[in-house]
Amino acid sequence: MKNMNFQVNLQGVIDLLSNHLYSEPGVFIRELLQNGVDAVTARKRLGHTFDEAVKVEIYSSHNISFTDNGCGLTEDEIDQFLARIGGSTKRDDQDSADDFIGQFGVGLLSCFVVSEEIVLITRSALEDDALEWRGKPDGTYSIKKLKRQVPIGTTVYLKAKPEFEEYFEYYRVSELLEKYGQYLPTTIMLVEDKFERTINESKPPWLLDKPEAMAYVEGITYNKPLDIIPLTSLIGGVNGIAHILPYAVSLQDEKKHRVYLKNMLLSDRMNNILPPWAFFVNGIINTNSLRPTASREAFQENDLFFAVRDELGECIKRYLIELADRDPDLFRRIVLIHYASIKTMAVEDDELYALFVRHLRFETSYGELTMAEILRDHKELLVTPTLDEYRQVARVARAQELMVINGGYVHDLDLVRKVTELDEDIKVDILNTLEFANQFEELDLEDKLTAQPFIDQSNALLEDFQCRALVRWFEPADIPVLYNTNQDVNFFRLAEESEQQANALFADVVRVIKDDLYDVPYAKLCFNYNNPMVRKAMEARDPHLRKASIELFYTQALLLGNHPMGPAELRMMNDSLLQFMNRGLDGAEVNR
């Protein structure tokens, strides 16, 4: 047996890593910064004292250099780490608490995205030799010892590839250095000609006190935040702030939290470091112990990650609970602006539910009210699962003095149903619109007898539309009929359509579903005996006229309720209207 090694096409791998791992070419600045800072950290560990610094210098014709005075590399180390993809000087203690930012040994490859060659001059803190390493994207490299003396540290030289010159211009380099390195502890200097500038002078936002943080956020977003919530997670070594947005955000917006790993920007558009319900804040967060993915634009989503996320969510929750007592005005303002977000939160979390639900507004038969207002006068609540059902009953419900809440908007049904958890005396029922009309006042016997033929005729006429008629006396008088369906009616029509259209095999299948799993859902048409038009129609002697009135009541009810009408229903509406027009217009002629 022979043991063999895989053969790797180096150029292919380098191309893959350098051109496909990262989302934009500018990350080479980040990778170089990171190598510099890590080298400085390593030299400090050796016990050296020195003025730690990373210096970036811009030369003519799109050349730049990155110099650090960190630990440097020996020839062995170069061999082992620089020239070996996936090896890293920083990897050994991956699971111990480490001060390094990088760990994968692929960072330097990102330079090949923008440069045809990497030249690296280094002197190790442990040796006196100065070494020059030249690497090419085809996977070849050379090392030579330099005769001249260089100080301890490493310098990387890059020359722009065509099309990437922009990344070697002063303004662009300065922008990228600021973006990634603004808060790094090691001094970072940018030099062009004789002009020198220090990039990282400001204090990181997670170390600012509240007024400073407010001013800082306003400075970068041009919006004054409603407030600042401090974030900490012990297990994740996280410090940060969450600023409450002063405007409403859509549920569908991608969240953009700014996240730093050991003071180096990891991503300014991370969407999942805070729990999904927290979309009314943007976070600026620094962590010491979460693990980045190889592209270093996100974290590995391991157990620690989720534990940290929960802990940060907890910070936001605590803040809100305290705020309700401490500053009720601000609390109300937050609720007002971030309504949708808060609703989502309240559904997910019992504590937040208890805190917020009284402040939330609902559409009810008594107008738009907060839950506190609803509960002031009503302990028995009815809620409709859909907006349509709510519309069907809302006006009448008010006249019946029933508190009906529209549960048709996102989360409202769940929010209302949960309200029994606040107080055992509260009762919540889901309104069955089909039975809704049954509770209206019945007619006395005499009126019933008068109405009966009309109702019988209605039932006969509407049987094909799966609709049954009844008559009651109810307020308000200006509503002639109440048409109620429930959700299954549309499905049932859909099933009938399927049964007719399907092949024999599936027609049978649908028949079983329709007949054995569902009951035929009849819609209800409730005539209002309190309405003069209805009375008039019931008293009519002429069966044709009565028929036309019934058809007109029915089709008008469909129209008013936004229900789709079939061809038969449309024909019915036109025929009945035509009959009245004929009667009216012809009658006028007879009278003349």
Could you please report the per-residue DSSP string of 12-26?
HHHHHHHHHSSSSTT
Q: Give me the least distance between CB of 388 and another protein, in Å please.
A: 7
* 8 Å CB contact between 548 and 576: yes
Our finding on whether 519 is near another protein (CB under 8 A) is: no
| Minimum distance, C-beta of residue 307 to another protein, in the bound complex (Å) | 10
Smallest distance from another protein to CB 177, Å? 34
Q: Is 574 in the site for another protein (CB under 8 A)?
A: no
Is residue 14 within 8 Å of residue 112, measured between CB atoms? yes
Dist CA 297 CA 344 (whole Å): 28
Q: Which of residues 290-309 bind another protein (CB under 8 A)?
A: 301-303, 306
Q: Does 343 bind another protein (CB under 8 A)?
A: no
Task: Look at residues 300, 295, 299 and name the one whose alpha carbon lies nearest to residue 31.
Answer: 295
Cβ proximity to another protein: between 293 and 452 the closer is 293
Which tokens go with 411? Answer: 């989360």
- Give the residue with the Cβ less far from another protein, 50 or 491: 491
Q: Is 386 an interacting residue with respect to another protein (CB under 8 A)?
A: yes
Distance, CA of 589 to CA of 144 (rounded, Å): 115
* Residue 520 binds another protein (CB under 8 A): no
Q: Which of 305, 303, 283 is nearest to 292 (CA)?
A: 305
The verdict on whether residue 154 carries a ligand-binding annotation is yes
255 in contact with another protein (CB under 8 A): no
Report, in Å, the least distance between residue 512 CB and another protein: 5
Q: At what angle do helices 543-560 and 532-539 cross, to 10 degrees?
A: 150
- The answer to whether 79 is annotated as binding is no
- φ/ψ region of 105 (left if φ > 0, alpha if ψ in -120 to 50, else beta) reads left
Compute φ and ψ for 543, nearest 5 degrees: -60, -30
**Under rule CB under 8 A, residue 562 binds another protein:** yes
**Residue 430 Cβ, how far from another protein at the closest point, in Å?**
9
Which is nearer to another protein, 518 or 580 (by Cβ)? 518
- Cα 313–220–344 angle (5° rounding)? 30
Q: State which residue, 311 or 499, has the beta carbon closest to another protein.
A: 499
Using CB under 8 A as the binding rule, whether residue 254 contacts another protein is answered as: no
CB of 294 or CB of 509, closer to another protein: 509
* Region of 330-338, 407-415, 448-456, 536-544 interacting with another protein (CB under 8 A): 407-415
Assess contact for 138 and 11: CB atoms under 8 A: yes
Subset of residues 463 to 502 that bind another protein, contact rule: CB under 8 A: 487, 490-491, 493-495, 497-499, 501-502
Q: Which residue, 435 or 508, is less far from another protein as judged by CB?
A: 508
Look up residue 558 and give its two tokens: 């469909």
Q: How far is the CB of 411 from another protein (least distance, A)?
A: 8
Task: Give the residue, chosen from 505, 585, 588, 590, that forms a contact with another protein under the rule CB under 8 A.
Answer: 505
Nearest CB to another protein, comparing residues 92 and 508: 508
Contacts 24+ apart (CB under 8 A), 378-382: 378/403, 379/425, 379/426, 379/427, 380/426, 380/427, 380/429, 381/405, 381/416, 381/419, 381/426, 381/427, 381/428, 381/429, 382/428, 382/429, 382/430, 382/431
Other CB atoms within 10 A of residue 218 CB: 14
Which stretch, 2-10, 19-27, 128-136, 404-412, contacts another protein (CB under 8 A)? 404-412
The single residue among 512, 585, 588, 590 that binds another protein, judged by CB under 8 A, is 512
- Cα–Cα distance, 584 to 52 (Å, whole number): 99
Stretch that binds another protein, among 104-112, 139-147, 280-288, 563-571 (CB under 8 A): 563-571
Q: Which is nearer to another protein, 123 or 338 (CB)?
A: 338
Residues 359 and 338: their CA atoms lie apart, in Å, by 12
> Shortest gap between Cβ of 295 and another protein (angstroms)?
16
Q: Which is nearer to another protein, 1 or 512 (CB)?
A: 512
Task: Please pick, from the candidates 27, 510, 534, 552, the single residue that binds another protein as defined by CB under 8 A.
Answer: 510
363 is in an annotated binding site: no
CA 566 from centroid of its chain's CA atoms: 39
187, 55 contact by CB (below 8 A):
no
Q: How many residues bind another protein (CB under 8 A)?
A: 45
Handedness of CA 454, 460, 463, 464 (dihedral sign): negative
Q: Is 68 annotated in some ligand binding site?
A: yes
Taking CB under 8 A as the criterion, the residue among 53, 321, 509, 545 binding another protein is 509
Q: What does the DSSP 8-state code read for residue 359?
A: G
Helix (H, G, I), strand (E, B) or coil at 307: helix
Tokens describing residue 454: 């009309």
**Residues pairing with 243 in the sheet:** 228, 282
Least spacing, CB of residue 524 vs another protein, in Å: 17
Q: Is 523 in the site for another protein (CB under 8 A)?
A: no
Of the candidates 253, 272, 256, 359, which has an alpha carbon nearest to the alpha carbon of residue 310? 272
x/- track of binding to another protein for residues 350-379 (CB under 8 A):
x-----------------------------
List the Cα angle 58/64/66 in 5-degree steps: 105
Of 212 and 350, CB closest to another protein: 350
Known binding residues are 31, 35, 68, 154
Q: Which residues bind another protein (CB under 8 A)?
A: 251-252, 301-303, 306, 350, 385-386, 388, 408, 410-411, 413, 417, 420, 424, 487, 490-491, 493-495, 497-499, 501-503, 505-510, 512-514, 516-517, 562, 564-567
Known binding residues for ATP are 31, 35, 68, 154
